[in-house]
Chain A
Amino acid sequence: MRLLIVEDDAPLASGLRRILEAEGHAVDVTSRGEQAVLAASQERFDLVILDIGLPQMDGFEVLRRLRTGSADKNGPMPVLVLTARDAVEDRVHGLDLGADDYMVKPFAMPELTARVRALLRRSQAHGGPRITHGPLALDTVARRAFLRNEPLELAAREWAVLEVLLGKVEKIVSKEAIIQAVAGWGDDLSPNAIEVYVSRLRSKLEPAGIKIRTVRGFGYMLEEFKGN
């Protein structure tokens, strides 16, 4: 994946570059907002990591130009905003301008890489009909699932629940959100019913090392696949 880091603090920028390169991405770094706008107008990045506190043109302005300029002609580029300020208005402002996620400095690197993965996955999911997660693959057009390249039988509602969870790997999905996504099919669904579908999914996926964690009183989280 092609990533653009816009960060004026050299040690942080180089650290981020090396961490993301270690994840297998091609990373460009610039310390100036103007250059970021220029670069994004010339080629498409799969993700822009944007610091708000830049000299001269600040991150908000860069974000505004990315969203209003020609850079987004092939759909909006995902933007992860980094901020050292904690004022609530800054977060809201950033999200209002079209940032996809934000992180307050300093942050633990695993959290950053997890969010980068989630954003990249999301932008891919929009693009392609095929969602993969470790040994699991979902063909959303043909509505067929494969585990270790073997066809996997899923009931319609199991499919719907799995699709919701796959859309937010490593994020908690509340039971209400799952019910809303699944209950488009007419009848009411109780939280207990969701538990049943999740437990069926678990018995099918866990042998392959795919774990669905229960977050007590809240919902479920599909964990990052770490191998068997």
Chain B
Amino acid sequence: MAARSLRAHLLRMLLPPIAALLLLGALVAYYPSIEPATAAYDQGLVDIGVSLGAYIRPVAQGFRLELPSAVDQVLRRDSYDSVYYQVLGPQGERIAGDDGLPGPASDNGDAIITYDTTYKDQNVRAIALRAKCGDASCRVVVAETTVKRKRLARDILFSTLLPEIMIAFATLLIVWFGVKRGLAPLARLSDEIKARSPGDLRPIDAAGTPEEAAPLVSALNGLLGEVAQSSRNQQRFLANAAHQLRTPLAGLQAHTELALAKPLPDPVRAELQQVHEATTRTARLANQLLALARAEPGARSNAAQVNLRSLAEGEADTWVHQALARDVDLGFELEAAQVQGDAFLLREALANLVHNAIEYSHRGARVTVRTGRRGAQAFVEVEDDGPGIPPAERERVLERFYRVPGTTGTGSGLGLAIVREIAAGHGGSIVITEGGTAASEPKGCRVAITFPHG
């Protein structure tokens, strides 16, 4: 499910009621103002009708309208509308005015009748009234087209709708930006969480977050606390496991070495040699598994400024003795290389590279450890002149428990996986290439880890 925008959701919820309110407001404003306005125009028609009634004169055969043409012009004059009238005698005969102007639907007495009708294909507003003609009464009908009435209605409608539409827009804008402003602390919160490294399990600072987001922050902090606690438990377990595993392994190693130092029948010596090698391998495997677990994201990290050069110098003694045991010439080309990271893990990564190079090299091989800087990057690399790793295998050797087919030696296939894991945990990367300089024949293997310079 795609995440829903709170703003869009709020606007969608607000839009229909605002539109309905707008309409209702317009109606409520429109009708009370249109009635008196049209009533004023109707009154104008009635005035014309009354004036016309005053010009009815009795003649021999009945009545006639003696309307001077100047008066007729004045009565009919209107800037917008055409005005029509008709005067009918007591018997309904037309005395004067426009022929065919429709009368009111019902004719009941002396009241003034107001009505809408059509004349000459136009909508007209008409009034009908009675005028005295002698003893009887004549009917006067006055009608006018509805141009100014429509204009008035339109004007009223606009003058009420426009402010309402502006208010509605203002409301929506306020909601849009208000929500954005209101959610800004949440955005800050998410930025802070995004910027964190996977291992950073400190509680989130609740200061500056709105009251409404406080439960979210406190729930997150609760979760972070639990994760940190479980990570601490895991680390404690690892430390205990390390202790519980390593001490008996050290005992086992001591006793097999003691036994091997004694005169033994050859078959027994061969068996014991196997036991001894298996013990050494198990010890190394235990160390590697613990290192791998420690390198997991989320594990507690001891970040500090680490100089890869000092690290290599500190371990040189141990490595040289390992190399001598296998008749390997281990050399160093060390320059300062600052890295921000966990000294234990970085040392483990280096030790794994060196161990691999020594382990998989022939007797009399040359292995060289280099540290230094290349541009903005610190690097450590270990080069040997051994059999090398075929290009097709170079990616796979970084996988856990993978070993190049046909490899001798006692490796677990974990070493380079650990190195990769540790490199990645420090924002670095691992590259395997052929050894040798550009000038010389490529041979052996060069494994390099590059880190952002710290």
7 A-B interface contacts by CB (under 8 A): A84-B242, A86-B242, A107-B250, A110-B257, A170-B321, A216-B329, A217-B368
Q: Which of A21-43 contact B (CB under 8 A)?
A: 22
Q: Are A105 and B249 in contact (CB under 8 A)?
A: yes
Q: Does A109 contact B (CB under 8 A)?
A: yes
In the complex, the answer to whether B251 meets A11 with C-beta atoms within 8 Å is: yes
Q: With contacts A15-B254, A108-B280 known, is A84 near B247, CB below 8 A?
A: yes
What residues on A are CB-neighbors of B316 within 8 Å?
172, 215, 218
B254 engages A109 (CB within 8 Å): yes
Chain B: minimal CB distance from A225 (Å):
15
Known: A53-B243, A88-B343. A106 touches B249 (CB 8 A): yes
Question: Does B254 contact A12, Cβ atoms closer than 8 Å?
Answer: yes
Binary CB contact string for chain A from 154 to 177 against chain B (1 if under 8 A, 0 otherwise): 000000000000000011101000
On whether the beta carbons of B246 and A105 are closer than 8 Å, the reply is yes
Known: A84-B242, A215-B331. Is A53-B313 also a contact (CB below 8 A)?
Answer: no
Residues of B within 8 A of A84 (CB): 242-247, 250
Interface size class of A (residues with CB under 8 A): 35 or more
B376 in the interface (beta carbon within 8 A): no
At the interface, yes or no: B261 with Cβ under 8 Å from chain A?
yes
Rounded to whole Å, the gap between the CB of A117 and the closest CB of chain B is: 13
Contacts of A215 in B (CB 8 A): 316, 320, 330-332
Instruction: State which residues 21-47 of B face A: CB under 8 Å.
Output: none
B290 at the interface (CB under 8 A from A): yes
B442 to chain A, nearest CB (A): 21
Q: Which residues of A81-125 have CB atoms within 8 Å of chain B's CB atoms?
A: 82, 84-89, 104-111, 114
Q: A15-B255, A15-B257, A109-B254 are in contact. List 11 more A-B contacts (CB 8 A).
A: A11-B251, A12-B254, A15-B250, A15-B251, A106-B247, A106-B249, A107-B250, A111-B318, A171-B317, A216-B329, A217-B334
Instruction: List the 6 closest A-B pairs by CB distance, nearest first.
Output: A216-B331, A15-B254, A12-B251, A11-B251, A106-B250, A217-B332
A107 contacts B257, CB within 8 Å? Answer: no
Mask: chain A, 207-225; 1 = CB below 8 Å from B; 0 = not: 0000001011110010000
Q: Given A84-B246, A84-B247, A217-B333, A174–B313 Cβ distance below 8 Å?
A: yes
Q: How large is the interface on B (under 10, 10 to 19, 20 to 34, 35 or more residues)?
A: 35 or more
Residues of chain A within 8 A of B344, CB atoms compared: 86-88
Q: A111 and B321: CB pair below 8 A?
A: yes
B2 within 8 A of A: no
Q: Establish whether residues B246 and A106, one from each chain, have CB atoms under 8 Å apart when the complex forms.
A: yes
Indicate if the CB atoms of A218 and B332 lie closer than 8 Å.
yes
Check B252–A11 contact: CB distance below 8 A. yes
Nearest CB in chain A: distance from B381 CB, A: 13
Residue among B247, B333, B342 with the highest chain A CB neighbour number at 10 A: B247
User: Interface majority SS on A: helix, strand, loop or mixed?
Assistant: mixed
Is A195 engaged at the interface, CB distance under 8 Å to the other chain?
no
Taking the closest CB of chain B, its distance from the CB of A222, in whole angstroms, is 13
Chain A positions within 8 Å of B244 at CB level: 84
Closest chain-B Cβ to A193's Cβ sits at a distance in Å of 20
**Bound Cα distance from A177 to B53, whole angstroms:** 134
Interface residues of B in 306-332 (CB under 8 A from A): 313, 316-318, 320-321, 324, 329-332
Q: Is the Cβ of B331 less than 8 Å from the Cβ of A172?
A: no
A216 touches B368 (CB 8 A): yes
Task: List residues of chain A with CB under 8 Å of any chain B CB.
Answer: 9, 11-12, 15-16, 18-19, 22, 51, 53, 82, 84-89, 104-111, 114, 170-172, 174, 213, 215-218, 221
Q: Which residue of A lies closest to B261 (CB)?
A: A22
Interfacial chain A residues near B343, Cβ < 8 Å: 88
Say what secondary structure dominates the interface of chain B: helix
Minimum distance in angstroms from A86 CB to a CB of chain B: 6
Q: Which A residues are CB-close (under 8 A) to B261? A: 22
Chain A contacts of B331 at CB under 8 A? 215-218
B251: A residues at CB distance < 8 A: 9, 11-12, 15
Which residue of chain A lies nearest to B370 when distances are taken between CB atoms in the complex?
Answer: A217
A107 in contact with B313 given A88-B344, A172-B320 (CB within 8 Å)? no
Residue among B247, B330, B334 making CB contact with A105, cutoff 8 Å: B247
Taking a contact as CB atoms under 8 Å apart, the answer to whether A85 and B248 are in contact is no
A79–B385 CA distance with the chains assembled, in angstroms: 40
Give the contacting residue for A12; candidates B250, B257, B279, B320; CB below 8 A: B250
Contact between B247 and A53, CB atoms less than 8 A apart: yes
Query: Do A18 and B258 form a contact, CB below 8 Å, given A12-B251, A108-B253, A174-B313?
Result: yes
Give the complex CA separation of A88 and B303 in angstroms. Answer: 11
B242 and A85 form a contact (CB under 8 A): yes
Question: Which residues on the A side are within 8 Å of B224 (C-beta)?
Answer: none
**Which residues from chain A contact B283 at a C-beta distance below 8 Å?**
106
A85 near B320 with CB under 8 A, answer: no
Could you say which residues of chain A place their CB within 8 Å of the CB of B290?
A: 86
Question: Quick one: closest A residue to B241, CB to CB?
Answer: A84
User: Considering the chains assembled together, what is the distance between the CA atoms of A187 and B406 in angstroms?
Assistant: 56
A109 to B333, CA, bound (A): 30
Q: Is B239 an interface residue (CB 8 A)?
A: yes
Residues of chain B lying within 8 A (CB to CB) of residue A171: 317
Known: A19-B254, A172-B320, A217-B368. A12 touches B330 (CB 8 A): no
In angstroms, Cα B318 to Cα A172, docked, is 9
Of A53, A89, A106, most buried by chain B (CB within 10 Å of CB) is A106
Cβ contacts under 8 Å, B252 to chain A:
11, 106
State A216–B332 Cα separation when bound (angstroms): 6
CB-based nearest B residue for A221: B320
Is the CB–CB distance between A87 and B333 below 8 Å? no
Also in contact, A15 and B258, with CB within 8 A (given A216-B331, A216-B332): yes
B170 → chain A closest CB, angstroms = 62
Q: How close is A62's CB to chain B, nearest CB, in angstroms?
A: 17
